[in-house]
Amino acid sequence: MKITRRKALMSALFGAGYVGLRALATGIPASVLLAGRRAFADSAAMCLDRSKAQFIILQTSGQGDPINANVPGTYDDALITHSADPAMAPIKMTINGKQLTAARPWSQLPQAVLDRTCFWHIMTNTPVHPKEPDVLRLMGNTAADEMLPSLLAKQLAPCLGTIQAQPITLGATTPSEGLSFSGQALPIIPPLALKATLTSPAGPLANLQALRDQTLGQINDLYRGSASPSQKAYLDSVIASQSQVRNIRQDLLGSLTSIKDNSIGSQITAAITLIQMNVTPVIAIHIPFGGDNHTDAALAKEASQTVTGVGAIGQLMAQLAAAGLTDQVTFLSLNVFGRTLGPSNTDGRQHNQNHQVSIAIGKPWKGGVIGGVGPVAGDYGALAFNSQSGVAGAGGDVEAGSTLAAFGKTALAAVGADAAAIDAAISSGKVVPAALA
């Protein structure tokens, strides 16, 4: 039988037999539909702390953007080069009660967002664009060479009851930005492909109500009658009403129909829609922040894309708030490397394997700066820092070479993984309490 692109996308989004659509139509988690009563026990055993579970929107790039050049922590040394564009002028702002200096665009984020924004100064130890998958694998420090987004997804799927555990990539611009899960490469699903698959007149969202009635009939026939009182109560609490299904259908169709291209704005809309559909715990997007800017005259591209990039983060946070998801979604960034920072970098920057800045924004995170930057190898690089305070300097218990793994471990801790699971998943580094709310 010929498998069409639409069928392949449907299977990628909703699993074998499109069980995810039945989960969306009824409110019953896909794991319960697939495994019956056994799923109750399995889910409870696999999820240790549902209260900390978060959906993750991951910004990742193999371009090596200069996002590291204009954030808090890079304005303490007067020799570090910043764009002279007035839109990028340094400005003092307050994050979680502390006064910090950054380029002006960061100060435009709402205070409530800034107070949950944690800037990490990290060493990825590679200057090579195609090494982005290795950075996502924390440079060989993960069990079975698993990517960090996949480790997060495996931790979160049982807690969130998502249709699938596998992450979804919406914005990859090169093969190196694609994700894998348990060693298997995952498809890239651009926003326009998602829209075309789900919004056609004969598409899956058009038949949610009929699918709901059919699935509930099967539930009654198969195991609802023999379920325990607590299991019956659980099913009653999650089963969606007919009016809810109608609202879900209209809301999702409205959001998807608004997608006109594969831009970052469309990626944000698609990511939030996938979260509302409870498809996956982790969604990857691509926000341009200056790119591979070797010949960026007067750092003009860096300036314009920093303005639009921070603006995109602000747009994401505003849309999450409008959808009532502010406390349920964490934004993370992790790129292959950063750019050089020294005084010669006025018309473009080079690759910097010693310094990259990751950003974490969300309820589990304490706003501020983790680590810092100092002279390294003729330019600037990430420094060791103290895990309890986040302050960079000599004697820090997180060495520069362990900062990438420490970021990964802390991300897992932020969403509820226990210490034993974290250490089993990531072999070096340590959880950084200073970064956690």
Instruction: Answer yes or no: is pLDDT of 4 > 50.
Output: yes
Whether 174 contacts 290, CB under 8 Å: no
CB-based contact 296:349 (threshold 8 Å): yes
Q: What is the mean pLDDT of the chain?
A: 88
User: What is the per-residue pLDDT across 392-426, written as a single tens digit (0 to 9) for each?
Assistant: 998 999 999 999 999 999 999 999 999 999 999 99
Dist CA 404 CA 123 (whole Å): 6
DSSP E strand boundaries for 23-136: 55-61, 90-95, 98-103, 117-122
In contact, 284 and 147? CB cutoff 8 Å: no
Q: Would you say 424 and 397 are in contact if contact means Cβ atoms under 8 Å apart?
A: no
Q: Which domains does the chain have, with CATH numbers?
A: 1-46+208-259 (no CATH), 54-190+262-435 (3.40.720)
Q: Cβ of 115: how many Cβ atoms within 10 Å?
A: 18
Is the pLDDT confidence value at 222 over 60? no
**CB-CB contact of 74 with 375 (8 Å):** no
In whole angstroms, what is the distance from residue 124 CA to residue 337 CA? 6
Confidence at residue 19, expressed as pLDDT on a 0 to 100 scale: 74
Radius of gyration of the chain (CA): 22
Tens digits of residue pLDDT in 327-357 = 999 999 999 999 999 998 999 999 999 999 9
Residue 49, both tokens: 């702390």
pTM: 0.89
